[in-house]
Amino acid sequence: MTPVELYGTPSCPYTRDMREWLEMRGADFVEYDVDADPAARERMREVAGGQRTVPVLVENGLVKQIGWQGRGCTVSE
């Protein structure tokens, strides 16, 4: 089974909230810091149609959720 992908930034508290939720569920996930990793930022933007709001949760190549409970942070270009 392919792990869920979590795209976010350490500076966004909603990334932390989503990570904690995934951990509570025992989900198999990989986290990408889109501020520190330009390749991860580009992958996130490709799969999410240019989205700049984090966190982004991707499962099997499809966006499952953008933001956390209606809130998110905007990342730079």
Quote the domain boundaries for residue 8.
Answer: 4-74
Closest to 73 (Cα-Cα) out of 45, 50, 51:
51
pLDDT recorded at residue 76: 79
List the structure tokens of 74: 């905007």
Domain count, the chain: 1
Phi first, then psi: give them for residue 3, nearest 5 degrees. Answer: -70, 150
pLDDT recorded at residue 2: 81
CATH number at residue 12: 3.40.30.10
The pLDDT tens digits for 17-61 are 999 999 999 999 999 999 999 999 999 999 999 989 999 999 999
Cα separations in angstroms, 60 against 5, 6, 13, 64: 9, 12, 25, 9
Judged by DSSP in three states, 17 sits in: helix
pLDDT recorded at residue 1: 66
This prediction's pTM: 0.93
pLDDT at 77 over 80: no
